[in-house]
Amino acid sequence: MAILESFLRWTTRHLGRFTGLALALAVCGCAAHREADLELPPEVRTELPQTWREPAGDLPVSDALLDLIDDERLAALVEEALANNPNLAATALRLEASGLLARVTRARHLPRVDAGFEATRDNRSLDPETGGTRTANSLRPALSFSWELDLWGRLADERRAADTGYQAQEADWLALRDALAARIIQAWVTVVAERRAVAVQERRLALLAEVEDMWRARYRNGLASYDELATAKTQTALAQSDRDAQQNAVRQSERRLEVLLGRVPRTEIPGATELPEIGATGLDVPATVLLHRPDIRAALARLASARATASAADKARYPQLRLSGQVFREAARLDGLGSASTGWNLLGSLFQPLFDGGALALNARAEANLADAALMDLYEHVLRALEEVENALDRERTLTAQIESLDTALGEAHRSSAFFEKRYREGLDSLQSLLIAREQEISVRLQWENLQATRLVNRIDLALAAGLGTETRPWVGVTP
């Protein structure tokens, strides 16, 4: 036991020395590492417009996605989805795994320290008394280290590539969270809008059922033909069909929302019938707005990662300097290790590729091309982002104008229905004229309800296009 304790003390003492050396070398190695500066490259920034083509208007403005919503139940559903959605949870686990793999790359900056214990037995040792061979034992505990000096910054480039690659995946995860929250809001708006459409169809069906009953009574009294009664029955049946189809659409929308929430689809969404209030999104200059978008940040990070990888591939053709060493004791028996002398060795090696069939040069050229391709990918993301914002602004203006026109049409249709109803009750006009006026009012009402929901959905699209999310961006206020 005393021998083992002595060996453990010796190992701990020398391991502490090597740990100190490792930390000192790590500081030297990390000096070459710089945080990636994720700004829009000059060749992309110069192409951006100074202002948006379409104004945001004088609508209420918010700075965060959830702040746009004036509905506590809807906000609670968003939080539930962020906590329980299986796709989001799976992406979070993959992101965590990617972070662990990125740390593997960082470990290459640090010296590697290993502890080992060797025991050998052979019969080739020389016996000084007999001149022959004898069986001998050898016990050897040792501590060894190896470290590559990052002379040209190649390891620093590899670490930067891994770090920025992880930042890209983190931005992708944030984009997925934001997209999920937006889909929850939009799915809720769809459910409520379809419920309101069912209510309109119910009013239409009640009206037609009342007309059918009236025609049936007139037919029994010999005041109407069977053709007129058949027409009334047909219109009622068509209205029932439309109502049933609309109810089916509601149930499907509820199941779709429940799956997004991570629930078993049972169509048990709370029975709200009022559309939520959703404000408009405030827009800054395009360059600032784009840097808030996670997909743009991901493209920037991938560009930085590709450039760092290309730099590392180019530096792989330069000489590599490695240091390795070992501290050990050697004795024939365990009880002799405590009194054995400590030995050490240190080795420095310089490695320079001379001929590899051009593999390193070709790899460097390939990585440089991939870095150029990453810049083009970033430019495409920027163009698509500008298109999304402009389209959403344009739709906001168009939908607002359409709703204003339908407001006028709805008022006129309501007055027309009231006018023909009065004339019909006074015996001055036919029932057919009243039905036409009522159908027109219901048709305009359905269009108006649909446009109201479409505008709310578009405002969420605009919020996403402008980079609004479910939480504060880690890069907001950091990047110039």
Q: What is the DSSP string of 409-472?
A: HHHHHHHHHHHHHHHHHTTSS-HHHHHHHHHHHHHHHHHHHHHHHHHHHHHHHHHHHTT--SS-
Residue 12: name the closest of 205, 141, 156, 98 by CA: 141
Residue 378 parent element (H or E)? helix 359-425
| Backbone torsion region of residue 59, taken as left when φ is above 0, otherwise alpha when ψ lies between -120 and 50, otherwise beta | beta
| Residue 146 bridge partners (DSSP) | 112, 324
Model pTM score: 0.74
Q: Which two tokens stand for residue 307?
A: 């450039």
Q: Which two tokens stand for residue 347?
A: 């080795």
Q: What is the pLDDT of residue 428?
A: 80
Q: For the chain of 480 residues, list the mean pLDDT of each consecutive stretch of 10.
A: 48 46 41 50 75 56 69 86 87 81 71 83 69 74 83 87 88 88 90 91 86 80 77 86 91 91 86 82 73 88 93 90 84 73 80 82 91 92 89 91 93 90 78 81 91 92 85 51
CB 69 within 8 A of CB 75: yes
Q: How far apart are CA 85 and CA 78, in angstroms?
A: 10
Q: What is the pLDDT of residue 55?
A: 54
| 3-state SS track over 366-377 | HHHHHHHHHHHH
Q: How far apart are CA 480 and CA 472, in angstroms?
A: 17
Domain assignments of the chain as residue spans, ordered by start: 1-31+112-149+329-352, 38-110+153-317+364-465
| Residue 115 bridge partners (DSSP) | 143
The class of domain 38-110+153-317+364-465 in CATH terms is: mainly alpha
Q: What is the pLDDT of residue 18?
A: 42
Q: How far apart are CA 360 and CA 318, in angstroms?
A: 10
3-state SS, residue 52 = coil
Q: How far apart are CA 224 and CA 217, in angstroms?
A: 9
414-420 long-range Cβ contacts below 8 angstroms, 24+ apart: 414/441, 416/440, 416/441, 417/441
3-state SS, residue 112 = strand
Q: What is the pLDDT of residue 128?
A: 66
Q: How far apart are CA 321 and CA 29, in angstroms?
A: 13
Q: HSE-up of 290 (CA within 13 Å, CB side)?
A: 30
Residue 113 parent element (H or E)? strand 112-126
Residue 289: name the closest of 375, 386, 403 by CA: 386
Q: How far apart are CA 184 and CA 467, in angstroms?
A: 17
* DSSP per-residue codes, 175-213: HHHHHHHHHHHHHHHHHHHHHHHHHHHHHHHHHHHHHHH
Q: How far apart are CA 136 and CA 287, in angstroms?
A: 76
Q: What is the pLDDT of residue 47?
A: 72
CB 208 within 8 A of CB 97: no
198-202 long-range Cβ contacts below 8 angstroms, 24+ apart: 198/243, 198/246, 198/247, 198/250, 199/273, 200/442, 200/445, 200/446, 200/449, 201/239, 201/242, 201/243, 201/246, 202/243
Residue 388: name the closest of 249, 264, 252, 289 by CA: 289
Q: What is the pLDDT of residue 193?
A: 92
Q: How far apart are CA 391 and CA 430, in angstroms?
A: 47
Q: Which DSSP letter does residue 331 get?
A: B
3-state SS, residue 17 = helix
- The amino acid occupying position 268 is E
3-state SS, residue 57 = coil
Cα 266 to chain centroid, rounded: 27
Residue 325: name the closest of 340, 307, 342 by CA: 342
| 3-state SS track over 118-163 | EEEEEEEEECCCCCCEEEEEEEEEEEEEEEEECCCCHHHHHHHHHH
Residue whose pair of structure tokens reads 């930067």 in the numeric block = 160
